[in-house]
Amino acid sequence: MFGTSGIRGPVGDTVTCALALSLGRALGSLYDVAVVGRDARDSGDAIARAAIAGVQEAGGDVVDVGVESTPTVARSVAQYGADAGLVVTASHNPPADNGFKFWTHTGQAFGPELNRRLADRVDDSAAVTVPPAEMGSVRRVSDASRRHLDLLPGDDLAPMSVVVDVGNGTGQLTADALIDRGCDVTTIDAQRDGSFPGRPSEPTPENCTVLGGVVADTGADLGIAHDGDADRLVAVDETGAFVSGDELLAIFAVESVTPGAAVAAPINASGVLDAVVEASEGAVVRTAVGDSNVAAACAEPGVVFGGEPSGAWIWPSETLAPDAHYAACRLVAIAAERGLAERVDAFPTVVTKRESIRCADGAEAVSALEPEIRAAHDDVNTLDGLRVDTDDGWFLVRASGTEPLIRVTAEATTEARAAALLSEAEGFVHSVLDATPR
């Protein structure tokens, strides 16, 4: 039922109001008070109301924060004295999808054990309902964003010029926070619209060309873009060039790590991170892909920052949730000291290539190709998928935890070698897919 980031899928198929009701009952049977919020998708209202009803049916009370970003919902669990949180969102997926993600009182996403407990209760949801007199209450609040804004840093920010691409999602708090801190802010697609008419929800380089153009044309200091629920942040530099997720990861890590401290990152993150962190006398802790896995590592002593190339950034001293609004304030402060383009130019030169191959059952396909990869390579890491390290690069093949895709990543110091490693990895995948009866 659960992937690497909660539950996601097409509404009416994977995601239904019936499932929302059962998940709400399960949540309400485990926790006394739950925060519930949602992103701007058209299906979110009905699904969130069903989840709220489920929490009540199991005797739990609800703090309904309404339409808010995922980091705001996660932060609201502690802000309102609740025990857990639920956000109805499909994050960066297409508008026809929706989903569910759950949060602990620390702001950490539910891990495998808590997800299993929920799933067990869902399977027996009728047993957790209570008599009418014991049903929970609903408290609707409207100040979640303001409370979140008060937690964000940057009261002493330099007056930077920033373009914020909200992408018709729930990321307006970033613009509000930067304006509140004295920045000159231009917004793109700031109107909430769950059909994402301005651009697709995922802020890829291809989807951020307008942002880059506005930054370049206006002479802004940097640009920031969010996905639909604003748990991701990506950026363009002062020239309008897209800053890759691996480059952002390295930028944030260098600014966060101290000698003897560690940063957490998934197995698919660039080796540039290891180079810059080790130069700062820190260490890198590798995890399986997924912000919940990075958050679990961030909860360990000595880890001061964690992130994913997809755009999720975690500072455990603040919260164990990926908070793109907090990241935005940190990034503007970093850019005020030295431009992002100059920082990126100072990093070691590598070429990282990423592709996705559609596959109905990615986990099964990756498992099937393991013998073939092991026959060709001695050094195979199975932390998440199959990673092969060579003398001059590496490649990784893994099943997506959120979509019916196989993710392929390759990295080397030259374009030609990275392309060759990517081609080799894709060849392994297609050899298995071509041999599978359709």
Of 396, 324, 315, 393, give the one whose Cα is nearest residue 354: 396
Q: Is residue 2 included in any domain, yes or no?
A: no
- Residues 158 and 291 placed together within one structural domain of the fold: yes
Residues 161 and 184 grouped into a single domain? yes
213 and 299 part of one domain: yes
Tokens 């964003």, located at residue = 145
CATH, residue 46: 3.40.120.10
Domain closes at, from 345, 364, 397: 345
Question: Residues 158, 77: one domain?
Answer: no
5, 29, 69, 91: the active-site residue: 91
Q: What is the DSSP string of 179-232?
A: HHTT-EEEEES-S--TT--SS-SS--TGGGHHHHHHHHHHT-SEEEEE-TTS--
CB of 407 within 8 A of CB of 380?
Answer: no
Residues 127 and 236 in one domain: no
Question: Which of these three, 119, 146, 173, is where a domain ends?
Answer: 146
- The alpha carbon dihedral of 262, 264, 267, 269 has a sign of negative
**Of 146, 162, 188, at which residue does a domain stop?**
146
How far is 408 from 203, CA to CA, in rounded Å?
A: 19
* 138 neighbors 56 (Cβ within 8 angstroms): yes
Does residue 43 have an active-site annotation?
no
- Cα–Cα distance measured from residue 98 to residue 362, given in angstroms and rounded to the nearest whole number: 21
Q: Concatenated DSSP letters for 376-401?
A: H-S-EE-SSSEEEEETTEEEEEEE-S
Is 58 inside a domain boundary?
A: yes
Q: At what angle do helices 362-376 and 415-435 cross, to 10 degrees?
A: 120
Paired tokens of 436:
């599978």
Question: Is the same domain home to 130 and 253?
Answer: no
Is residue 1 assigned to a domain? no
For residue 353, give the DSSP letter. E
Looking at the structure, do residues 324 and 411 belong to the same domain, yes or no? no
Give yes or no: residues 174 and 317 share one domain: yes
Is residue 130 in some structural domain?
A: yes
Question: Do 206 and 282 sit in the same domain of this protein?
Answer: yes
- The CATH number of residue 355's host domain is 3.30.310.50
Q: Are residues 431 and 329 in the same domain?
A: no
> Is residue 268 a part of any domain in this protein?
yes
Domain with 227, as residue range(s), is: 152-345
pLDDT in tens, the chain (438 residues): 777 678 999 999 999 999 999 999 999 999 999 999 999 999 999 999 999 999 999 999 999 999 999 999 999 999 999 999 999 999 999 999 999 999 999 999 998 899 999 999 998 877 889 999 999 999 999 999 999 999 999 888 889 999 999 999 999 999 999 999 999 999 999 999 999 999 999 999 999 999 999 999 999 999 999 999 999 999 999 999 999 999 999 999 999 999 999 999 999 999 999 999 999 999 999 999 988 899 999 999 999 999 999 999 999 999 999 999 999 999 999 999 999 999 999 999 999 999 999 998 999 999 999 999 999 998 899 999 999 999 999 999 999 877 789 999 999 999 999 999 999 999 999 998 887 654
Is residue 332 located within the same domain as residue 196?
yes
Whether 19 maps to a domain, the answer reads yes
The total number of structural domains that make up the chain:
3
The pLDDT of residue 438: 43
**Same domain flag for 124 and 28:** yes
